Chain A
Amino acid sequence: MGPVNEVIVLLRKFSIGGVLLVALVLFPIFVFLFKIPLLRFPSSFYWFEVLLSTLLQAGLSAFFSVLFGIFGALGLCCVFPKYVKRGGVELFCLLPALLPPLVPVLAWVNVSEFFMHFPFSFSAVLVVHVLMNVGLVSVFFSRLFCTQTGDLSSWAFLHGVTRWSFLRKILFFEMRKDIVLIFLLVFSFCFTSFSIPLLVGGASGQTLEVFIAEQLKNPFTWPEAMALFLIETIFIFMLFSLLYGRGEKNVQIKDKKKLYLLPSLPFVVLPLLPTLLIFFGLADVFSSKTIWHDLSIIKLSVAIAGVQTVLMSVGAGVFVLFLLSAVAFCLRDLFLRRFLVAYSGASAAFMGFAFLLIGSDGPIEVLLKWSLGLSFLFLPALYRLMGESLLRRLKNQIQLADLMGAGKVMSFFKITWPQCASTFFFLSGIAAFWACGDFAYSSIVGGELGHLAMLIQDLFASYRFELATVLTWILIFIGMFCFSLFAGVAFVLRKKSYL
């Protein structure tokens, strides 16, 4: 009876709402489980080659991102104390990671076309992943250097330690855990990346996600797809379980310390370059004279696609807001929150096919499927981004409110929601912005509808980069509009509260 009792105790610990919420997030797996009698590995070993290639791609992408990111951070450390405000530069560096992948990829392809035809291959996936992540890694390490190494660098400087010795023997050694942590984070992102290999991977750049999507196209190979998806999910789940709570350092910068031995100005080009290339790649298109004529031909489709993009994005934002609130209300249980942090999100392909299999494909249903599916896809990443740390900060307050006799509902509406609402609206704005640029998931569910990102991807696939770039500008404006709807509410809420 021992183990049975333990299971009963464990089940009692979960709130019903929490279990339901997790079931909701995992529902694509359930949809396929009902449709698939058993799991099966593909008969040929091609899947294993794809797995190895994905591991190699993710490993190299993460390695180069971390390597360039650390040196980029040394450059950023040099810029910050003297010349400019930190927030603006950091946002500039983070743009490639924050923009929907379609936007930076198109810009970088445009830039590369000046010199050569863009190589749609394994190496292209690698380069795009590094360009997307190097700014993010640089910002992370620059904050870490500024907060953790101030006194250490002064001490080493006073003792005559050379810069290279300081970096090699002290700094990298001290930061080895953080280096491994950020490596694994970037690795997991590159391992599960779907839209980038789909855009630039070609035949040699196929990843496990793309392979799963291909298996899902044929109902006879669904058991294979399910088996591969479970392998991928369990692998990422284990990775994040290991990482849970280990990288929680305070990287809020309060005072400007002089950093001896660290700054190296030339390296600042590393985190800034990808964003500069995005602006350069997107700006060049306006020099073309035929572009406006081409645009006028498809203006009606663009207008319809634009309206559908707004509806889908706002819908995704609203659903994310609801899901984040549900998480805050239901998941007071550490185990379930840990699950959400560790869960990388269903693959876009899997989510797409799951939604394709349920309900009808009328325009309203498809719009709802787009919004709901994207909110499911974005939820784990957004929760990891800010949600988890926010809820952790409120732990003591909620415990105290419980002790004071406040019920779950009162705790949520009087303690949790007033302190989280602003952040939740902001995160919903990010979700709305990301949703604008999705084409991988929505093209699977699409039916007869099509939004702007799908139109851009069609143009991209047929090498009409100029027209695709003009539409990307429209996409960015729509994305900013949808983001500002939510961010505006977040701003008002923050102003109104004492926080």
Chain B
Amino acid sequence: MSYVKNLICNQGDFTLDIPSMEWPDEGVSVLTGPSGSGKSTLALALCGLKKVEKGFQWLFKDQDMALLSPPKRNISFLFQSLELFPHMNAEKNILFPARARRISKEQTQERLLILQGYLQLSGFLKKPVHLLSGGEKQRVALARALIVKPRFLILDEPFSSLDEKLKKNSIQLLKKILEWEKCPTLLISHDKEEIESLAQKVFYIRNGQLQSD
């Protein structure tokens, strides 16, 4: 299990206050709640991209993640806007985290081949990202998030910009690859279909506070 304690994040007139939270070390946990309830703030705080008050602890596989710097936490984050690097092609986007973490070329290529198979990337790897469709961009962003075998994956409303058909396909694809990767995932969503298809545990957040497990 993964335990979070004393996660307090002040943002002027909004405060995220999570005294304790726990979720399984594998599978998909979903964080849901109305807009402005603090879902994304919680995710960013877990990554270390939001400043939190002293006393925060995140015990994950016998390690306190709160003591590590954001890069050392080895968390992959999929923004709602995907944030693909627009000046690179799909392949360079995917390989960027591996280069940043100085993973050997052989290992990276091996990993890319696997992801290419799972996410059906081969048709557009060399294409610049602005020429990709919404679904293709989504798969590139997911491959980029998974290329370094992250310790933990956070997905912030990843399907919100897709149409219904594409969303269904993407959910199935995500389910398949997460089962295979066995990477613990926190999915932020308020879509019923996504929650029903993927969630092993659901958290409901409102006004910066968890309502029930």
Chain A positions within 8 Å of B100 at CB level: 401, 404-407, 410
Main secondary structure of the interface of A (DSSP, over half): helix
Answer whether A401 and B49 are a contact pair too, CB < 8 Å, given A418-B87, A498-B86, A498-B88: no
A403 near B: Cβ within 8 Å? Answer: yes
Hey, which bits of chain B sit against chain A, CB under 8 A?
47-49, 70-71, 74-77, 79, 81, 83, 85-89, 96-97, 99-101, 128-130, 148
- Check A397 for interface membership: any CB of B closer than 8 A: yes
Contacts A404-B100, A404-B101, A497-B87 aside, 4 further interface pairs with beta carbons under 8 A come to A403-B48, A404-B71, A415-B85, A498-B86
Residues of B within 8 A of A406 (CB): 71, 96-97, 99-100
* Pairwise interchain contact B70-A402, C-beta atoms closer than 8 A: yes
Taking CB atoms, residues of chain A closer than 8 Å to B70 are 402-403
Report the Cα distance A497→B88, complex, angstroms. Answer: 8
Q: Given the interface contacts A397-B85, A498-B89, A498-B130, does A403 sit within 8 Å of B101 by beta carbon?
A: no
Query: Which residue on chain A has the smallest CB distance to residue B103?
Result: A405
Q: In angstroms, how far is the closest chain B Cβ from the Cβ of A273?
A: 40
Let me know if A419 is at the binding interface, CB within 8 A.
yes
Q: Find chain A residues with CB under 8 A from B85 CB.
A: 397, 414-415
- Chain B residues whose CB sits within 8 angstroms of the CB of A397 once the complex forms: 83, 85
- In the bound complex, residues from chain A placing their C-beta under 8 Å from that of B76 are 403-404
Which residues from chain A sit less than 8 Å from chain B, CB to CB?
Answer: 396-397, 399-407, 410, 414-415, 418-419, 497-499
- Sample 20 A-B pairs with CB under 8 A, ordered by A number: A396-B79, A397-B83, A397-B85, A400-B79, A400-B83, A401-B96, A401-B100, A402-B71, A403-B47, A403-B49, A403-B70, A404-B76, A404-B96, A404-B101, A404-B148, A405-B148, A407-B100, A410-B100, A415-B85, A498-B86
Assess whether B148 is in contact with A396, with CB atoms less than 8 Å apart: no
Q: Which residues of chain A are near B89, meaning CB under 8 Å?
A: 498
**Contact indicator A498/B128 (Cβ below 8 Å):** yes
A405 and B71 within 8 A (CB): yes
Q: Are B128 and A403 in touch, CB under 8 angstroms?
A: no
- A419 adjacent to B71 (CB under 8 Å): no
User: Which partner residue on chain B sits nearest A414 by CB separation?
Assistant: B96
Across-interface contacts of B83 in A (CB, < 8 A) = 396-397, 400
Q: Chain B contacts of A415 at CB under 8 A?
A: 85
